[in-house]
C-alpha cells in the first residue's frame, strides 16, 4: 500500500513538472559572489529576432521583504530593434526607469563593449568606453543592496515591450567574449570615471570557471522559457546563451572564430597563435604578410592602452617571427594578466590573446 502511495505521489510530481514546463529553453549565468557597487563590463553580440531579450545586468536576490527589496541595473537588448539598447534601473516595488539608447550599428551583428558604473550617487552606462547615459536622484540612493553579476536570454510574454515572438526564428544566440568586474574604491582607483574603480577580475570565457559562475535552472511568470544548463555554453573562448526549442538545445550555430578580438580577418595577414601561451618570460608568434608594406605590432592591455609598439617595413611579403618579453616600451615589466598582440596595416588588423603569468 505504501509503495502504491509512493509511486502515485511520484507520478503526480512528474505530471506537475511536465505540465508546468515552458515551451522554450533559455539560459542564465550568474556570479556566485554578490557585489555592492562597481563597474560591470562585457564585450558581446546580442541575440537577434523580435520577442527575444538578451542582457547583462546586476540583480539582488529578493529576501523576505520581497519586491520592496528590489535592486537591479540592466543592459537589455530587445531583438525587435536593430539599432537600440535599453538601459534600466529597478528599485523597490519594481519601479522601472527605462531608457532606449540609439546605436549606429546592429548589436546582433557586431561585437561591442558595454558597461555600467553603479555607485551610491549615480548609475552610468557606457558603449565602447564612452558614457552615453546617466541616472541620478533619489531612486539611486535606494540601490544599496549587494547584487549578482548576470547574463541571460529569454522570450518575455510582453509583446508590447519586446515585440511578437516567432518560434520559427529559433535558435537565437547571444555571444559574450569576456566579462570584467571593477570594485568601487573612490579616491584610490585607477580606471573608470574619476579613477574611482579598480579591476578585480577578468574572465576570457576560455572555460567555465565554477568558482565564479553558476548556471541557472529556474523561470518565472512572464518568462516563456525554462533556463537549463545545456543552453549556457562555453566554446572557443566565448560564452554563448542559447534560446531554443526543448528538442534542439545547446549551441548549433556556425563555428566561432578562434579569437573574437580580431573581427574580420584580412586575408593578406595571417597571425599564428602565440607559443607558449600562457607564458612566463617570452612568447613567440609568426605572421605572414602577403603584400609588401609597413606593419605595426602592438601589445595592448585590457584597458585598451598600447604598452609596446614596433613598426616593420617589408619590401616583400613573407613570414616574420616576433616575440614579446613582457616589457613595455620603457623596458618595464608589466604585471600578470591578459594582453592582446595586434598586427596591423593601413587596411586592417589581426590579433591574438596572451596570458602572462608570473
Residue 146's domain is classified under what CATH number? 2.60.120.200
Among 228-242, 254-268, 306-320, whose mean pLDDT is lowest?
254-268
Q: What domain range is 181 assigned to?
A: 22-243
Is 110 among the residues known to form the active site?
Answer: no
Does residue 239 sit in the same domain as residue 93?
yes
**pLDDT tens digit sequence for 23-62:** 999 999 999 999 999 999 999 999 999 999 999 999 998 8
Neighbour-count burial for 110-133, b at 16+ CB within 10 Å, e otherwise: ebbbbbbbbbeeebbbbbeeeebe
Number of domains in the chain: 2
Per the domain annotation, does 96 fall within a domain? yes
State the pLDDT at residue 158: 96
Q: Which of 28, 41, 61, 76 is catalytic?
A: 76
Q: What span, in angstroms and rounded, lies between the C-alpha atoms of 199 and 213? A: 17
**pLDDT tens digit sequence for 177-202:** 999 999 999 988 889 999 999 999 89
**All cell numbers assigned to 142:** 535606494
Q: Measuring CA to CA, which residue among 9, 115, 5 is closest to residue 56?
A: 115
Supply the pTM of this predicted model: 0.69
**Alpha carbon 275 to chain centroid, angstroms:** 26
In this prediction, residue 348 has a pLDDT band, given cuts at 50, 70 and 90, of low
Mean pLDDT of 143-171: 96
Per the domain annotation, does 8 fall within a domain? no
Q: Which of 28, 72, 117, 261 is catalytic?
A: 72
Per the domain annotation, does 16 fall within a domain? no
In this prediction, residue 92 has a pLDDT band, given cuts at 50, 70 and 90, of confident
pLDDT of residue 2 exceeding 60, the answer is no
Of the residues 176, 209, 243, the one at which a domain ends = 243
Per the domain annotation, does 250 fall within a domain? no
CB 10 within 8 A of CB 210: no
Does residue 323 sit in the same domain as residue 185?
no
Does residue 201 sit in the same domain as residue 65?
yes
Q: What span, in angstroms and rounded, lies between the C-alpha atoms of 58 and 150? A: 6
In this prediction, residue 285 has a pLDDT band, given cuts at 50, 70 and 90, of confident
Is 76 among the residues known to form the active site?
Answer: yes
Per the domain annotation, does 157 fall within a domain? yes
Amino acid at each position: 500500500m505504501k509503495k502504491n502511495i509512493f509511486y502515485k505521489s511520484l507520478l503526480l510530481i512528474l505530471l506537475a513538472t511536465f505540465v508546468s514546463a515552458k515551451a522554450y529553453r533559455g539560459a542564465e549565468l550568474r556570479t556566485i559572489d554578490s557585489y555592492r557597487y562597481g563597474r560591470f563590463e562585457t564585450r558581446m553580440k546580442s541575440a537577434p529576432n523580435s520577442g527575444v531579450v538578451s542582457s547583462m545586468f546586476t540583480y539582488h536576490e529578493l529576501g523576505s521583504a520581497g519586491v520592496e527589496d528590489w535592486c537591479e541595473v540592466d543592459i537589455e537588448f530587445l531583438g525587435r530593434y536593430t539599432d537600440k539598447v535599453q538601459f534600466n534601473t529597478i528599485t523597490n516595488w519594481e519601479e522601472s526607469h527605462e531608457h532606449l539608447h540609439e546605436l549606429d550599428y546592429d548589436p546582433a551583428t557586431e561585437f561591442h563593449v558595454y558597461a555600467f558604473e553603479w555607485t551610491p550617487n549615480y548609475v552610468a552606462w557606457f558603449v565602447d568606453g564612452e558614457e552615453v547615459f546617466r541616472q541620478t536622484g533619489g531612486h539611486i540612493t535606494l540601490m544599496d543592496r549587494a547584487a549578482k553579476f548576470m547574463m541571460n536570454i529569454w522570450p518575455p510574454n510582453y509583446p508590447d515591450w519586446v515585440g511578437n515572438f516567432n518560434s520559427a526564428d529559433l535558435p537565437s544566440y547571444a555571444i559574450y567574449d569576456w566579462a570584467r568586474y571593477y570594485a568601487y574604491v573612490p579616491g584610490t582607483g585607477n580606471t573608470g570615471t574619476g579613477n574611482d574603480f579598480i579591476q578585480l577580475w577578468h574572465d576570457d570565457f576560455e572555460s567555465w570557471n565554477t568558482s565564479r559562475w553558476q548556471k541557472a535552472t529556474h523561470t518565472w511568470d512572464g518568462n516563456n522559457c525554462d533556463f537549463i544548463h545545456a543552453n549556457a555554453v562555453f566554446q572557443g573562448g566565448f560564452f554563448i546563451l542559447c534560446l531554443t526549442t526543448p528538442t534542439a538545445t545547446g549551441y548549433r550555430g556556425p563555428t566561432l572564430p578562434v579569437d573574437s578580438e580580431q573581427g574580420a580577418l584580412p586575408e593578406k595577414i595571417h597571425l599564428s597563435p602565440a607559443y607558449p601561451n600562457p607564458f612566463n618570460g617570452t612568447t613567440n608568434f609568426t605572421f605572414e604578410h602577403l603584400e609588401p608594406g609597413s606593419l605595426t605590432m602592438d601589445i595592448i592591455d585590457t584597458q585598451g592602452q598600447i604598452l609596446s609598439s614596433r613598426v616593420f617595413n617589408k619590401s616583400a611579403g613573407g613570414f616574420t617571427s616576433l616575440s614579446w618579453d613582457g616589457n613595455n616600451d620603457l623596458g618595464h615589466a608589466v604585471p600578470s594578466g591578459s594582453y592582446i598582440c595586434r598586427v596591423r596595416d593601413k587596411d586592417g588588423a589581426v590579433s591574438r590573446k596572451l596570458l602572462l603569468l608570473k
